[in-house]
């Protein structure tokens, strides 16, 4: 029984990370119907950005809430700027090009970032600064619940709630939904689509930045290719939940985390990745709109 509770906790904490990155995929897809494959590499750049900030400030061995805040802030800033740059230089010129061209560009940008990072930061793994003291907060049965796991889960849920608020309760959110519905008509109504899309990219990328710090504190080994697998898994999570749907992304992420954990716990780690992509195939065959998506989803 203790084991099972422990597995649930492990799954929840892994799933939260998938969820957070899946939110970024979903945001961009909701507005542009573009799968931004460079998202996972923006996430990697966020990890390196905050790593170098911590090194520069000399706070890499001073865990605490202020360190967490500084690292989160710097990762979000780095990611937002990179997201903005990518949108301006790579996607905007192709705004009216066929979808396939933009998809291929996204893959190109992703590879560019990976190899750029290897050239600049070196390909050997770096150790992410210690962000928080990992202490036992409370016990469920005989299972210890640790600070890191709670922090990761809390940040994910807070992020989802804030995003939901921004999209459904603010003027910018209204503009985003308008652009998602119909870019041309929104423009006629006085919305500047380019500005809205830029902001969407910045917000989505900043989420990747948050994810990178959380992953860095949980699995403190960062390298230029760290985004590939986690990015693919988060993408599957977004599709599973219904891409374009925010709660769906979180649900999908949590489900992915759980199922991976259970497969490894009760079957074999060999099937971990096979399971993730198996889910993708099954969803695409039987419920292409995802668990929480309707076939005519209202996007973002």
Q: Quick one: 56 or 266, whose CB is closer to another protein?
A: 266
Given the complex with another protein, which of 73 and 220 has the nearer CB atom? 220
Query: Cβ of residue 8: shortest distance to another protein, in angstroms?
Result: 10
Q: How far is the CB of 200 from another protein (least distance, A)?
A: 21
- The nearer residue to another protein, 86 or 155, going by C-beta atoms, is 86
CB of 30 to another protein, least distance (A): 26
Q: Which is nearer to another protein, 86 or 238 (CB)?
A: 86
Shortest Cβ 105–another protein spacing (Å): 9
Radius of gyration of the chain (CA): 19
Could you tell me the sign of the dihedral formed by the alpha carbons of 259, 263, 269, 273, in that order?
Answer: negative
Is the Cβ of residue 122 or residue 288 nearer to another protein in the bound state? 122
Rounded distance, CA 17 to CA 152, Å? 7
Please say which residue, 27 or 217, places its beta carbon nearer to another protein. Answer: 217
**Cβ–Cβ contacts within 10 Å for residue 56, how many?**
10
Q: What's the CA gap between 255 and 237, in Å, rounded?
A: 8
Phi, psi (degrees; rounded to nearest 5) at 137:
-90, -50
Cβ 128 to another protein shortest distance, Å? 9
Contact 54, 67 (CB under 8 A): yes
Q: Which residues bind another protein (CB under 8 A)?
A: 2-3, 6-7, 10, 14, 89-90, 112, 118, 122-125, 127, 130, 134, 144, 146, 148, 215, 219-221, 223, 229, 260-262, 264-265, 268-270, 272-273
CA dihedral 19, 59, 45, 32 (to 10 degrees): 50
Q: How far is CA 136 from the centre of its chain?
A: 27
Residue placing its CB nearer to another protein in the complex, 265 or 291: 265
Q: Which is nearer to another protein, 7 or 287 (CB)?
A: 7
**Min CB(137)–another protein separation in Å:** 12
Q: Dihedral through CA 109, CA 112, CA 117, CA 123, nearest 10?
A: 130
Identify which of 40, 13, 25 has the alpha carbon closest to the alpha carbon of residue 237: 25
CB of 56 to another protein, least distance (A): 18
Q: Are 106 and 37 in contact (CB under 8 A)?
A: yes
Minimum CB separation of residue 229 from another protein in Å reads: 7
Is the dihedral angle over the CA atoms 25, 66, 152, 159 positive or is it negative?
Answer: negative
């Amino acid at each position: 029984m203790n084991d099972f509770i422990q597995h649930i906790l492990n799954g929840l904490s892994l799933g939260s990370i998938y969820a957070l990155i899946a939110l970024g995929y979903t945001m961009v897809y909701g507005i542009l119907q573009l799968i931004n494959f460079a998202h996972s590499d923006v996430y990697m750049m966020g990890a390196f950005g905050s790593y170098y900030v911590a090194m520069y400030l000399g706070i890499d061995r001073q865990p605490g809430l202020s360190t967490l805040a500084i690292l989160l802030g710097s990762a979000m800033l780095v990611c937002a700027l990179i997201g903005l740059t990518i949108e301006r230089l790579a996607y905007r010129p192709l705004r009216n090009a066929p979808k396939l061209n933009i998809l291929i560009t996204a893959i190109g940008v992703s590879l560019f970032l990976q190899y750029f990072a290897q050239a600049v930061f070196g390909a050997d793994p770096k150790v992410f600064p210690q962000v928080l003291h990992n202490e036992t907060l409370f016990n469920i049965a005989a299972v210890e619940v640790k600070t890191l796991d709670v922090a990761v889960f809390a940040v994910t849920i807070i992020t989802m709630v804030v995003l939901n608020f921004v999209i459904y309760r603010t003027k910018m959110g209204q503009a985003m939904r308008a652009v998602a519905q119909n870019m041309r008509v929104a423009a006629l109504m006085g919305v500047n689509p380019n500005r809205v899309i830029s902001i969407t990219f910045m917000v989505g990328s900043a989420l990747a930045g948050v994810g990178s710090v959380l992953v860095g504190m949980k699995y403190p080994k960062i390298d230029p290719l760290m985004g590939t697998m986690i990015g693919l898994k988060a993408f599957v999570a977004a599709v599973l939940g219904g891409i374009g749907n925010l709660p769906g992304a979180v649900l999908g992420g949590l489900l992915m985390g759980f199922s991976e954990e259970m497969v490894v716990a009760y079957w074999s780690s060999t099937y971990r990745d096979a399971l993730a992509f198996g889910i993708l195939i099954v969803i695409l065959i039987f419920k292409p709109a995802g668990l929480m998506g309707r076939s005519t989803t209202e996007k973002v």
